[in-house]
A and B are shown apart, each in its own frame.
Chain A
């Protein structure tokens, strides 16, 4: 476990050693604010909740999370430090997990810094804080799933731009999996069972279900499984690619 902690600390510190962290946090806060107030009509709705705030998170993450994840392994491969890291006495899992958790904590920090909007809504009215807590949890889990996907695709290439684009595309497909456009297209060629299975993979459906304030174990398990599966794939991809 100590290997994971050490790698976690190193990674997290490296975010703040470069402008990456500050740029990311500022953009995240600005965009989430702009979306909430202008697109979401936070005031105009006249309701004391954070629905307009959380609705846009999947779309914000779609571009911001791959920007964080793209460097996770691609940079290690490009600079050769992957050889240093994996010849230290740590297991592959400690390395994959340490790097992932650092990136996730970093995004959690950015998410936590949106707390003024929570204060605002409590000042303006009496929101259901249980729902807000659940939504924060759902948002964080979804970011984790995006990151795990990004981690795997970052391991697959040494080019960060390629990693970014691949991650955006895969995340976009998983987001839209619950939408009629995708489901309709698949329904035309595949049986109902497949359509249901793909609809079940939708990020949005699970995120919205948690956002209603009902924390269903199935939604939690969905995101946790998603993260574990993609991290497992990350380890496999690293093993395959380092030989080449």
Chain B
């Protein structure tokens, strides 16, 4: 132990990660060359304000390799799909940059024109994590723009989905305009109807009153033909399918109201119900707006294309050509670099490679593949670049063929039977019956009164309050859940959640925490100095197991070393402080001899990493998955209410451990992605309402098939497969509270249905007597709506389960 140069642990000035402080620039310490480079670039261009706005705002650049990754951006076809506007000189393009997270990001990205004068303008849209860039084609290419962004740590997320779909239609804008028009009409109609309320004695024939009435009629036209359009369309679509939805009585009420008002005005017999009509449409539009407002930044519709690269490197006659994935043909030689995904099932041509199949199986330990072996699409290469030859098409490969299942067919008729639609199945016939009956009753006595009664019943039963209850309750609940890091796709999900009676969990990544793992050590115990030796070596390796050991040896200070060699799939060897340290697989340490080291069967799943120092094998680390915090409590709470199942793509080594949580018959192992889908389908066949909780692409089929598919994610802005909701990993233990809250939500909706039915019956009672005045309608209908809105909002705020609230 001669010169043990202990390095001080510190944090990187750029990204805030722990580092040893060996990379210094301007008296500031960095964790890696990448971070330092970013600082240098920003420093040169006077953009250091970036660091002043927020403490350590950057993202680490460790492990990011700048190669020819973006060569495909020179492809004209890819270019034309990405660029949204091009007038010859100036092109504008919008990139998704998931790393945007603070005001420093906005500052830097909006100032990138200072870094390259080819960029004219850049505008960040924080809420959607995107940046819109206008650049000069003559000075800079699209590829250079992307490379510039990557060089400062903001790599755009370019995927096949972006290329295939045009920009998502901004439905919010339509709603803003519709609501504005409705509000405009509502305000003016109210103003013009006001004299009626006060009973100002204008005779029905006075020109002033006629003028007001005709104006009201004109103002109501955009309401009917523009704002209320969607109610008619939705009612008509449901009718075509042979069902009645809540929009049908709404459309009927609106029509009756409009027809009767128009008749009254043109026959000079009254002023009509335009005020009620306007307030009704306005309120219902606001309800729709709440119902449809979701999280713009989160994507719930991702399929494998979002994960797969846009282009692959094809090797042809010794040349590397970047080719868009859509043009990839069978039998093509491709090159897959470190950390790149394998796009299609292929045969390995290079000698050996470590493939990380965590996307496919959920198992995070890389698998060693040799030349000639088949590697499946979706695996990630974690070693040196390898050459492959494709044997299947991209869409026909092992993982991607999952998306050929009928469940992913988007044209499938949406068969949602919500409480509201169930209710309207009997509500509408009853309303029509009452209307016709009262009309028939009055017919013999007074034709005018008969028409009056008919229209009044249709108007007063227009289920405005009824239609508002679920959007306001569930919409408010979605916002509240969002505060507690549970993000649901839409309001229907809450209703479905309330009816769940089976939950299927994926194991790896869902029940277990992939970021943390249990580390045991067996063998000769290691002293402090020896631990330092181990840490110094694993610190330099990018292998997941090394990273885990490194993370476990958190407090240990590494010793500087630059003499080390990593053998793919085997281990790492290096000289640290004049000691020869070898860390790796059993074979790597013992050589090729059959040491036949026997382990207890309980450890089969666990990965072993052997440690040898100066030619002597000291022992091995056992790395086991760690289960998420609060799992035991959650399972206990859930077991009382629902049936639990665990479906794992892994081997059954943890059967004994999981048995304490669920019945042995509910534990299924060795499940392929398609098996998981079938498992969920099978449960549904038995009449169960299934919620699937998963995390990876391997669960995608099951998530989609289940009544509710919930994805667990460590970072909600990053990867998550298509699902109905995303739960941030820290909130995993609150799944029971989520179910409880949805049940309460459904109760709130039921109560508010009862309230609005009560209002309706009062109205109907007046209407069938033919005595309902327009003023009565104008008072009764908004009051019922306002009661519902305030009741649901207050109740859904008040009934949040305390467990959900106790954040952290």
A-B interaction: no
- B residues near A (Cβ < 8 Å) are none
